[in-house]
Amino acid sequence: MNANLTGHLSPIDPDLSPVTRAMVALRTPLIEAWMEEVRGHVPQAKELALPILENTIPAYFDTLAALLTPGHSARVVTDLGAVASEHGGERARMTMYDATAVIHEMQIFRDVLFRELEHHGVALEDTQRATLSAHIDATIRESANAFIVVQAALREQFVASMAHDLRTPLSTAQMAAEMIGHTSGDATVRRYAEKIVASTQRMDGMTRELLNGIAFCKTGPVRLTLAQMDMVELVREVAQSAEIFHPVEVDIGPEAVEGWWCREAVQRTIENLVNNAIKYGARDAAIRLVVSTTVERVQVMVHNQGAPIAPEDSESIFQLYRRAGNQGLGEGWGVGLPYVRRVAEAHGGSVLMSSSAEDGTAFVIDLPIDARPFAGAPTAA
């Protein structure tokens, strides 16, 4: 159930085809081989921290492998697009990549995938190879598009911030010029002072127009207070509080998952997702919380059964003051899911979403285990 979104499909799952199981069994060595080649061939990746380089690739790999199980649901294809978009978005926020680097690393992924499968004796039929190639091509397009969109959003935020900050020195210069004009007895000085006032007023008007023309989020950056904590303990705490209102199943191993995160912000994000699952999910089905880990990253999944979120709403639900149109929500503004994304991104992570009638709805918060090097990362949400 949505295990592909966390990169945790099982190589012994009987519901998966033999070729999917064989691919999943090679997940770790294949991803390691990919990371090594990316570091060697993509200059911007050479010094990337491991959890940032790894990104959402485990989830992407598992979702790609699931395509080779006959009868897979349309959800898996949708998932692939969502993971590809998050990959490109995280590259825009967390690296010095350009679009060419995003494309190059996914081309390397394709080469490594087919090479390693052949090296380990995993034989692909021509149709299976064609399926993987076609979806990797689609991934390259979607990742590059997401990279460009997020990069443009970050540029808008930067320009808007600069325009806002410019207004203070402009105002100071204008007041000083007005004072000179009022106090000077020299006609020439007064004339130049009037020119300065007129120019600063014009510049102030231009910055106001720029600010009005940019859709700039006024909520400001997410402020994080990072401390060492146990994600398992936090998820259990949230689950216990939610059980008062709705049945909750917790799928967590006995071991703690220690890391550096902002406890208050992460708790609020998980609570937001759980509250949404209670509000919009099926009343007769338990909510499921799952904690898992990949290399230097942790995933927290919140899953519920119920009416699915339409594919066309998969992005708008994360936008400030917008809600999905098929959930029976009516008019209103929503800030919960945008906050979830902002918190994940500010930790250097991502949020993945998958929804279908047969498999329900799952949100996955995917964060670096140690968010300290990435705290305060730019957020496009």
Other CB atoms within a 10 A radius of the CB of residue 243 amount to: 14
Can you read off the two tokens belonging to residue 333?
A: 């503004």
Q: At which residue do the structure tokens 């969109």 appear?
A: 149
Rounded Cα–Cα distance for residues 366 and 124 (Å):
31
The β-bridge partners of 248 are 287
Q: How far is CA 111 from CA 34, 64, 114, in A?
A: 9, 14, 6
Amino acid letter for position 247 = P
- Beta strands in the chain, from DSSP E residues, in sequence order: 227-230, 248-251, 258-261, 287-294, 297-304, 350-356, 360-368
Q: In this predicted structure, what is the pLDDT of residue 134?
A: 94
- Does the pTM of the predicted model rise above 0.75? no
Report the pLDDT value the prediction gives residue 328, as an integer from 0 to 100.
41
Spell out the per-residue pLDDT of the chain, length 381, in tens.
588 888 899 999 999 999 999 999 999 999 999 999 999 999 999 999 999 999 999 999 999 999 999 877 667 888 998 899 999 999 998 999 999 999 999 999 999 999 999 999 999 999 999 999 999 999 999 999 889 888 877 666 666 666 666 777 878 888 888 888 888 888 888 888 888 887 787 677 666 655 554 444 444 567 789 999 999 999 999 999 888 889 999 998 778 999 999 998 999 899 989 988 988 899 999 999 999 999 899 999 999 999 888 877 777 677 654 444 544 443 333 457 888 988 999 999 999 999 988 899 999 999 999 999 988 777 765
- Cα separation, 131 vs 169, whole angstroms: 58
What is the structure's pLDDT at 209? 57
**What is residue 311's DSSP assignment?**
G
